Amino acid sequence: MEYRTLGRTDLKVSAICLGTMTWGEQNNLDEALEQMDFALANGVNFFDTAEMYPVPPRPETQGRTEEYVGEWFARRGKRSEVILATKVSGRSEATGDWKHLRGGPRLNREHIRQAVHDSLKRLQTDYIDLYQVHWPERTTNFFGQLGYRHKEQSDLASIEETLSALSELVKEGLVRHVGVSNETPWGVMEYLRHAHQDDLQRIVSIQNPYNLLNRSFEVGLAEMAIREDVGLLAYSPLAMAMLSGKYMKGQRPAGARLTLFDRFQRYSGPQAVAASEAYVTLAREHGLDPSTMALAYVNSRQFVTSNIIGATNLEQLKTNIDSIGCVLSQEVEQGIEALHQRYSNPAP
């Protein structure tokens, strides 16, 4: 396994991060425990979860994923061996009111403090290594939107208020470091500006989608990630498994996410399907597993700190973790760039 520095901290996180959002929906507790055992045994020391997981989010299951992680800590006694990341939810037009979560989640001091204590209880730990804002409270282009349409909003929890509340948690020892997710270049710069101007905690990471079907991170955030040491924690690196080849020619395998849930259409448009099949074909022409090629590409980007993989069984998990040992040839990279020119960000 390869390890990389998280922001400007002294933490070294594995270049492969274990994602957890299927646990409690597609995976039961025993399967989750098995995945954590396997990941740690294979050098993965970085686990990522969120208070809203599992997905699809439902009132009946909210928080169950964190509970599974907490159960693993309690049974295995290996909390000190894991760098643990979780997230706080805020308001969003994209997700709806979510009254089941604090009566409607916000990113103000009151909600953030309640959220972190609730997460700590479920996780059965007294600290979180990386506490992330799951998405901006303001309306902007995330969750499948590449374009931006400005909307004036007067009742937002400001970034200054959010960062101030997060900084309090660090001072109290409940959180070690803070980060953002689904953010834009403007949002990242605002967090950095307030950290410098108001002597608040500096964000150390940004968790955004990044894969062969959506390389929009490269446009405005890649340089910032490198120059400001706010590295990318890349999520959805297989574009909801579209890049694995399992959905080729319209296939819908039993138990697969796109088979089970209609809501996941982000990477299912005609251009995205055509691009996915082209990348799968390229991988197979070079004797590569399509998932391995797609993940190896993400692993190799200079602005990526860790690649968040997710799996519903150990075979998938092993393939995903093993991608760290794959170095793509110049010929394969040239093939990827040629396809990117043909299908430039076909999915958001």
pLDDT, tens digit, 9 for 90 and up, residues 143-166: 877 788 888 888 899 999 999 999
State how far the Cα of 107 lies from the Cα of 135, in Å rounded to an integer: 10
Nearest to 90 by CA among 162, 178, 193, 189: 162
By three-state DSSP, how is residue 244 classified? helix
Whole-prediction pTM value?
0.94
The Cα 108–Cα 111 span in angstroms is: 6
pLDDT tier, 263 (very low <50, low <70, confident <90, very high otherwise): low
3-class secondary-structure state, position 79: helix
Alpha carbon distance 147, 284 (integer Å):
33
So what's the pLDDT on residue 296? 98
Q: Is the pLDDT of residue 140 over 90?
A: no
pLDDT at 267: 84
- Domain borders along the chain are 3-207
Mean of pLDDT values over 10-38 = 98
**Domain 3-207 maps to which CATH number in 3.40.50.2300, 1.10.340.30, 3.20.20.100, 3.40.1010.20?**
3.20.20.100
d(C-alpha 318, C-alpha 33), whole Å:
15
Q: Report the amino acid identity of residue 113.
A: R
- Among residues 3, 53, 247, 267, the one annotated as catalytic is 53
Provide the percentage of residues in the chain whose pLDDT is more than 90: 84
The pLDDT value given to residue 258: 61
Buried (b) or exposed (e) across 69-100, using 16+ Cβ within 10 A? bbbbbeeeeebeebbbbbbbbbbbeebeebee
Place of tokens 């009566």: 103
Helix, coil or strand: residue 47: strand
What average pLDDT score do residues 31-54 get? 98
Tokens 């001091």 locate to 109
pLDDT higher than threshold 70 for residue 30? yes
Is there a catalytic annotation at residue 53? yes
